[in-house]
Amino acid sequence: GDIAIFMKLLRVPKGHRSYITTDVLLALDGTDKPEELLYVITSPPQYGQIEYVSYPGIPIVSFSQMDVARQIVSYVHKAKAVVCEDTFR
């Protein structure tokens, strides 16, 4: 079926971490199976990294919508300078 993805801006001060929550990233496909909705990072962020909270310092290349709902995925700002914007796909 169709998948709807809702995204909002996540503000992260330099040197800090912010959780990627369902308020920031939400995918819906109408099946009530968020563990089966998988995000695959094909272009990682340039100034930080996406990682599981329980494995700090280790970048990840995929995570599920259930991981987002459980608040176990975060973006870590690793640049030494203030950066206006960072993106990943």
Render pLDDT for 20-74 as a digit per residue (tens, 0 to 9). Answer: 999 999 999 988 888 889 999 999 999 999 999 999 999 999 999 999 999 999 9
| pLDDT value at residue 86 | 81
The token pair that represents 55 in the structure block? 């494995």
Global pTM reads 0.87
Q: How far apart are the first and last CA of the chain?
A: 21
